Amino acid sequence: MTRYEILPTVDGPQDLEGLSMEQLEQLCGEVRDYIIRTVGRTGGHLAPSLGVVELTVALHRVFRSPGDKIVWDVGHQSYTHKILTGRREAFRTLRQRHGLSGFCRRAESPHDPFGTGHASTSISAAFGIAAARDLRGDDERVVAVIGDGALSGGLAFEGLDNAGGCSRDLIVILNDNNMSISPTVGALSRHLTDIITHPLFEQIKRDVWEITERLPRVTGTVRQIVQRMEESLKGLLTPGLFFESLGFRYLGPVPGHHLPRLIGLLEKVRAMRGPILVHVITQKGKGLPDAEKNPRKFHGIAPLQTENGKMEPARSGLTYTKVFGETLCELAAEHSDLVAITAAMPDGTGLSRFASDYPDRFFDVGIAEAHAVTFAGGMAARGARPVVAVYSTFLQRAFDSLVHDVGLQRLPVIFALDRAGLVGEDGATHHGMFDLSYLGCIPGITIAAPRNGAELRDLLYTAVHARRGPFALRYPRATVPDPDALEQPPRLLEIGRWEQLKPGGDGCFLAVGPLVGVALAAAEHLHRDGLEFGVVNARFVKPLDEAILLRLASEQPLLVTLEEGTVAGGFGTQVALALTRRDGAAGARLLQLGLPDCYIEHGAREELLAAAGLSPQGVAEQVRARLRRRAPEAAHPAAGDRRWSASRRPGEPAVGG
Ligand SMILES: Cc1ncc(C[n+]2csc(CCOP(=O)(O)OP(=O)(O)O)c2C)c(N)n1
């Protein structure tokens, strides 16, 4: 920290007040350097944060947080905001267990007025904050900062529509870098590009915008004249006046790395009333040449390592994501009706190769998960075989589409749920721990989870050949245990059939997905104690293999379900339901292990799994404890359990880890 001059003097936004423009510009350079060094070590969202350093400094110079409320969309770009709002030193712990979150968190700082992680929420949340402010008779300014990618989400449009229809004071800053994770898609994005590439943009900036900027605070008639002049010229420039027709006063576009201009504009905006949208043009990855050149690669990075003399994000081995992407391409060669759909995540979901090999059959719909599902339903209704590749956590957005537009109509849509289970450093907003619960209650759906890469291939192959309504596959953010997975041709599996890997005697594990490996290792631990535990690969969570289940229930003294998902309503619950349907007393011989019924913080995936008792040792210990106890009892920690409760504000839900 000693290398920096200004940064160590900033303990909160109030410390920006006395700084000259030159000092603020120097501060931007120091913050950028600090972010690059820290994120290079911890991993995180580098390019998005580098793009908004000046914008964040300008916002904190002009607005008075935490009185004024700044609501970041997604929150992945909030690193400068964290550094300037009293979290400079803690920033070194970014995304580490018990350290700072990679997103905004109400529990972390009063400067984070709303928790974030999923896209497109900022306008609705900020508008809610503004409405509550007005009810209380207060007058703070409320600012939502949303990227052009997040603006492609339906929720953002709903927020704009609602807020623009009222006269309430609300400022929306559109941080337009022409990128989502990959290039932003959609008509609105094209419209934004038209604005900034229009030949009149430069001229307008010079002739009108700068004049109005230079005018002293104008009021009354002068203001109206200037406003009208500006609007008629903008009419030339912004065909359709999209935001204005939604009821927002549109200002910009303004260059987002020009601090004096940003500050000048925001000072004026702070004094304005009604719904206002400020269009700011930024460059993703600004200040780090590699990230400027390849913002896609530097959107979210693993810790940097030196490779061929260059700093590169660390590489991993063969991942489930890669196995999925490669297998889908193989299957697409045989099935011309197979199409792939992503909600703005072609790289993360492993679809990049599919996108380049089959461009006509690849659909990136923007950050629009509900639309992706209903769109897939439409395609399936017309004979296509859609595969929606999506992170487990983001599919939560689309629950009604799953039920109403696919499930109820028994449409054969395949859902490839990546990042199912604990994702690690992205934390509570991103863990894919609810899918077995929210999918499990959909009638007629097939839910499967592979225990390794080869089985992922088998299950995807099976899903493509089955034409029996929705079929969901869930797999983790992890490398596969079988690095040669891609070498074997995929096989057709019988839907609803489990695989018994080990016989047992004192009990049997019924394990889902990667936890089959944990069950095998836990069985070894128990064997050393003289206990014989069997292992079943419960690769279908729905339908259950009731034949094996009922046989084991009658043979084994104890059944232990094991899943990387919340115990509330997941696989263990489905097993209990099936057993109680057949035998009211069966619950007495069932131990349900999984993730606890509370939110789980960020940290390394293995670390979090161990904390949840899902390491082989942890599982074996919970089984021993269960065998020691006479009376059946919940083995998982409940919400509010001391081990899982983090310090939190009154009224906030428990956060685990
Ligand atoms: C509902 C949802 N879907 C997908 C994501 C994954 N995601 C995180 S950031 C991002 C791109 C956001 O683009 P933009 O808003 O333009 O911000 P930028 O990264 O370009 O600064 C995506 C798709 C998410 N966070 N939430």
Atom of ligand 1 at shortest distance to CA of 148?
Answer: 16
Is residue 311 one of the residues assigned to a domain?
no
Same domain, 519 and 553: yes
Catalytic residue among 54, 140, 369, 564: 369
Residues 119 and 264 in one domain: yes
Which residue among 74, 179, 347 has the greatest number of ligand 1 atoms within 8 angstroms of its CB, and so is best to mutate? 74
Pocket of ligand 1 (CB under 6 A): 48, 51, 74, 76-77, 118-119, 147-150, 177, 179-181, 284, 343-345, 367, 369, 394, 397
CB burial class (10 A; 0-12, 13-18, 19+) of residue 108?
A: middle
Distance 87 CA to ligand 1 centre (A): 23
pLDDT at 634 over 60: no
Q: Whose CA is nearest to atom 17 of ligand 1?
A: 147
Distance CA 238, CA 253 (A): 10
Question: Residue 242 — very low, low, confident or very high, per pLDDT cuts 50/70/90?
Answer: confident
Mean pLDDT of 174-185: 88
pLDDT attached to residue 570: 97
Q: Which one, of 581, 517, 586, 503, lies nearest residue 544 by Cα? A: 581
| Alpha carbons 325 and 323: distance in angstroms, whole number | 6
When pLDDT is averaged across residues 192-218 and rounded to a whole number, the result is 60
Domain boundary among 434, 466, 487: 487
pLDDT of residue 206: 56
Do 247 and 241 form a contact (C-beta atoms < 8 A)? no
477 a catalytic residue: no
Q: Which two tokens stand for residue 36?
A: 């690059």
Residue 294 falls inside a structural domain: no
| Model confidence at 472: pLDDT above 80 | yes
293 CA from centroid of ligand 1 (Å): 19
Selected catalytic residue, list 397, 457, 502, 542: 397
**DSSP of 579-644, one letter per residue?**
HHHH-TTGGGGEEEEEE-SSEE--S-HHHHHHHTT-SHHHHHHHHHHHHH-SS----SPPTT-TTT
CATH number of the domain encompassing residue 143: 3.40.50.970
Kindly state whether residues 184 and 85 are assigned to the same domain: yes
Question: Worst-scoring range by mean pLDDT, 57-66, 193-202, 293-302?
Answer: 193-202
pLDDT at 201: 59
Q: Tell me the chain's radius of gyration from C-alpha atoms.
A: 27
- Check whether 246 has a pLDDT greater than 60: yes
Q: Is the pLDDT of residue 609 over 80?
A: yes
The ligand 1 atom at the shortest distance from the C-alpha of residue 120 is 1
Return the ligand 1 atom nearest residue 181 CA: 11
Assess contact for 435 and 395: CB atoms under 8 A.
yes
Query: In the sheet where 385-391 sits, what is the strand order?
Result: 362-364, 338-342, 385-391, 414-418, 471-474, 446-448, 540-542
Cβ pair 502, 467 in contact under 8 A = no
pLDDT at 179: 87
532 pLDDT tier (thresholds 50, 70, 90): very high
Among 249, 266, 289, the domain-final residue is: 289
Residues 561 and 629 in one domain: yes
The amino acid at 150: A
Same domain for 522 and 413, yes or no, is: no
Dist. CA 118–CA 343, nearest whole Å: 12
* 312 is a domain residue: no
Mean pLDDT to the nearest integer, 223-231: 58
pLDDT of 308: 66
593 is a domain residue: yes
Q: By mean pLDDT, which of 79-83, 141-145, 349-353, 581-585 is the weakest?
A: 581-585
Q: For residue 296, is it within any domain?
A: no
**505/646 same-domain check:** yes
Which CATH number covers residue 600?
A: 3.40.50.920
* 273 and 343 part of one domain: no
Q: Which of 199-213, 234-248, 443-457, 585-599 has the highest mean pLDDT?
A: 443-457
Per-residue pLDDT, 236:
56
> Region 179-191: what's the mean pLDDT?
83
CA-nearest of 254, 257, 307 to 285 is 257
Is residue 302 in some structural domain? no
- Report how many domains make up the chain: 3
Q: If you average pLDDT over residues 430-455, what whole number do you get?
A: 98
In a domain, residue 301? The reply is no
Ligand 1 centre to CA of 625 (Å) is 44
Catalytic annotation present for 397: yes
Q: Are residues 115 and 256 in the same domain?
A: yes
Ligand 1 atom closest to 348 (CA): 6
The Å distance, Cα 507 to ligand 1 centre, comes to 45
Exposed / middle / buried, residue 610 (Cβ in 10 Å: 0-12, 13-18, 19+): middle
Taking the centre of ligand 1 as the mean of its atom positions, its distance from the CA of residue 198, in whole angstroms, is: 26
Q: Which atom of ligand 1 is nearest to the CA of 147?
A: 15
Percentage of residues of the chain with pLDDT beyond 70: 87
Q: Is residue 313 in a domain?
A: no
Ligand 1 site-directed mutation target among 180, 184, 301, most atoms within 8 Å of CB: 180
The average confidence (pLDDT) of the chain is 90
Residue 83, pLDDT score? 98
Task: Compute, in angstroms, the gap from residue 568 CA to the centroid of ligand 1.
Answer: 29
**Both 158 and 23 in a single domain?**
yes
For residues 437 and 545, membership in a common domain is answered with no
In this structure, the answer to whether residues 452 and 529 fall within a common structural domain is no
Q: How far is the CA of 152 from the centre of ligand 1 (A)?
A: 10
pLDDT, one tens digit per residue, over 113-134 is 999 999 999 999 999 999 999 9
Going edge to edge, which strands form the sheet with 499-502?
499-502, 533-537, 507-511, 559-566, 590-595
Q: How far is 327 from 3, CA to CA, in rounded Å?
A: 50
Long-range contacts at 435-438 (CB < 8 A, ≥ 24 apart): 435/392, 435/395, 435/472, 435/474, 435/565, 436/474, 436/512, 436/541, 436/563, 436/565, 436/566, 436/569, 436/570, 436/571, 437/565, 437/566, 437/568, 437/569, 437/570, 437/573, 438/396, 438/399, 438/402
Termini Cα distance of the chain: 29
What is the best residue among 71, 181, 342 to mutate for testing ligand 1's pocket, by most ligand atoms within 8 Å of CB? Answer: 181
Of 236-250, 410-424, 526-540, 610-624, minimum mean pLDDT range: 236-250
d(CA 603, ligand 1 centre) in Å: 21
428-453 average pLDDT score = 98
pLDDT the model gives residue 12: 98
Q: What is the residue with the minimal CA distance to atom 22 of ligand 1?
A: 181
- Locate the ligand 1 atom nearest the alpha carbon of residue 118 and give its number: 26
Q: 401: CA distance to ligand 1 center in Å?
A: 21
Q: Whose CA is nearest to atom 16 of ligand 1?
A: 149
At 543, list the tokens: 């339908």
List the catalytic residue out of 284, 296, 542, 626. 284
pLDDT at 160: 97
603 — pLDDT class (breaks 50, 70, 90): very high
Residues 369-375 have a mean pLDDT of: 98
End-of-domain residue from the set 238, 267, 289:
289
384 with 270, same domain: the answer is: no
Q: Residue 560 in 3-state DSSP?
A: strand
Whether 502 sits among the annotated catalytic residues: the reply is no
Q: Rounded to an integer, what distance in angstroms lies between the CA atom of residue 500 and that of residue 509? A: 10
For 12-29, what is each residue's pLDDT tens digit?
A: 999 999 999 999 999 999
pLDDT score at 188: 81
What average pLDDT does the segment 507-524 reach?
98
Band of pLDDT at residue 649, cut at 50, 70 and 90: very low
Which residue has its alpha carbon closest to ligand 1 atom 19? 48
Range of the domain at 200: 7-289
Q: Quick one: CA dihedral 80, 82, 87, 90, positive or negative?
A: negative
User: Among residues 150, 59, 176, 605, which one has the least CA distance to residue 343?
Assistant: 150
pLDDT of residue 529: 95
